[in-house]
Structure 1
Amino acid sequence: MNRLAAGRSDGPGGSPRIRSRGTGNVAVERIQELILAEGLTPGDAMPTESALCERLGISRSSVREAMRTLASLDIVEVRHGHGTFVGQLSLAPLVDGLLFRARLDDGNDLRALREVIELRIALDLSVAERLVERYRDTTNPELEGLIAQMRDLASAGRPFPEADAAFHTALFSCLGNRLLRQLAQAFWEIHTVAVPLLGLPPAEDILDTVDAHHAMLSSLEAGDAGAYREAVLAHYRPLGRALDAAASAQAAQDAPTRTPTG
């Protein structure tokens, strides 16, 4: 028998009812099982609080506590005045937790951000061959338009996080691995949020980053995986230099001041 089917029985009106399993706080697990059993997908409406209490055999307070937990994991989304829906199931909460753990370990925000950047680089490099297969001998006006938008903003001294995110999302859209795309997007979000919070100075060579985006696309269209990898590394060099400068400034600030003797 199917594992999900084994864990439920018919409720009133023939609707599936999730059977109670053991004692303790298992509301979170039961609600997740209900989402799977019902075949709900991101954006679908969840049963009402009363219906969940009835079908899962748990109290209203347990449902509310479970919903708060599931909302923090982006498994459900509470829209005030409209109800509760299945969330987007993104990996941002996971990466946010990893970033917080890195900061908690030693309190070094710069090191935590550098580790996130290293993971982004690893992801971008890991798909080089697959991207080359998809983009070789193609033209991509959408991506070219995003690069032009980034260049205009950078020339005006303005940041371009939205265009940057759209570029990377579109670049990976041809890959069938949805989890990979979500992970890349989650790392990008943490990276983008962390940079201004850490007070890093804007890179003076931000136009180099724009040129790197162009080089990434041109290399893929030319079928040159090696050139794409070099462009990926060039893409992150300005931020790496900014991190190095911030680390040096922090070290100088933390260094003990010597008192002249004589």
Structure 2
Amino acid sequence: MSEDVQARIKQLILDRGLTSGDPLPTETELVAMLDVSRNSVREALKALQAMRIVEIRHGFGTYVGALSLEPFVEGVAFRAAVRHHQGEPSLYELMEVREALEAGLIGTVARGLPAEDLAVLRALVQRMAEEARGGEVLSATDRAFHLALYRSLGNHLLSEVLDAFWAALRRVRDDLADVRPDPEVTYRQHAEIVDALEAGDGERAVAAMHRHFDGIRRRLTA
């Protein structure tokens, strides 16, 4: 019953053209509209909240949620962590998926990277250089770099998926002290990617991206 009610609430969101932050009918109204029990509505809303499809604000009502990929990230990261502790190459598999996505796209980016995006990437590489001298390239800087790389493609879902795999891999790697990157190498590898993009050289950019992942691959297989 709960899954059916979930589907009907999602259809209601679509039919009414609602988006993140918009209010949904009250619990009482949903009971009447869907002709189901109050418990069925509550169970469905709790399940949809876990998926970030709705947000329940106690004392205020229910709203369309952030519609983020966070539940996907949590699921992928936990799956990888469990399998890693069972001796399976789950981190390696996560890395391969992310590498396939990024190396497959970077050549396209190289053919039409706007000057303002190149400037953002240059600034982030400079920040990496400064952080490397301090002993660690911050994960926030690395994340911002990889998000900025594909902004010019104008595909929001693509950016979210890439960021989801970045976050999942980082989340599991952060639990493992033996896979920390050399900050100077991290800086140089990102600088090589930007140099290739500035030259508009797609093949060189793809090769630089693969070298970047080769470093991750070596740490994961060591």
- 1:234 aligned partner: 211
Aligned residue among 69, 86, 91 for 1:91 = 69
Match 1:157 to one of 135, 150, 154: 135
* Closer/same/farther in 2, CA of residues 169 and 211 from structure 1, 3 Å limit: same
- 1:113-152 matches, within 5 Å, as 113-135=91-113, 140-152=118-130
8 Å contact 1:136–1:220 — kept in the other structure? Answer: no
Give the CA deviation at 1:114.
Answer: 1.2
**Cα contact 1:74–1:88 (8 A) shared by 2:** yes
1:52 and 1:103, CA in 2 relative to 1: closer, same or farther beyond 3 A?
same
AA aligned to 1:112 is S
Residue 187 of structure 1 deviates from its aligned partner by 0.4
Residue 29 of structure 2 corresponds to which residue in structure 1?
51
The CA RMSD measured in Å over matched residues stands at 2.5
The yes-or-no answer on 1:182 pairing with 2:160 is: yes
Which residue identity is paired with 1:220?
L
Off by >6 Å, runs of 4+ in structure 1: 136-139
Superimposed CA distance per residue, residues 121-141 of structure 1 (whole angstroms, 9 cap, x where no aligned partner): 000011133212221777722
Counterpart position of 1:219: 196
* 1: CA distance, partners of 2:125 / 2:15: 44
In the superposition, relative to structure 1, how do residues 161 and 103 fare at CA in structure 2: closer, same or farther (>3 Å)?
A: closer
One-letter code of the match for 2:161? L
Among 26, 46, 53, which residue is 1:75 paired with?
A: 53
**Residue type at the aligned position of 2:216:** L
Max Rg structure = 1
Q: Percent identity?
A: 37
Unpaired runs of 5+ residues, structure 2, are: none
- SS of the residue corresponding to residue 197 of structure 1 reads coil
**What's 2:7 paired with?**
29
Mean Cα deviation higher: 107-116 or 229-238: 107-116
TM-score when normalising by structure 2:
0.86
Q: How far apart are residue 104 of structure 1 and its match? A: 5.3
Deviation at 1:109, TM superposition (A): 6.2
**Deviation at residue 176 of structure 1 after TM alignment:** 2.9
Structure 1, unmatched stretches of 5+, are 1-23, 246-262
In 1: Cα distance, 2:59 partner to 2:212 partner: 43
Number of matched pairs: 221
1:5-59: per-residue Cα shift (whole Å, max 9, x none)? xxxxxxxxxxxxxxxxxxx331110110011011112233333322322322222
The reply to whether residue 42 of structure 1 matches residue 20 of structure 2 is yes
Aligned-residue offset at 1:102: 5.2
Q: Judging changes above 3 Å, is the alpha-carbon distance between structure 1 residues 45 and 213 closer, same or farther for their aligned structure 2 residues?
A: farther
Q: Give the Cα–Cα distance (whole angstroms) in 2 for the partners of residues 164 and 135 of structure 1.
A: 19
What is the correspondence of 1:94-109 to structure 2 with a 5 Å cutoff? 94-101=72-79, 107-108=85-86
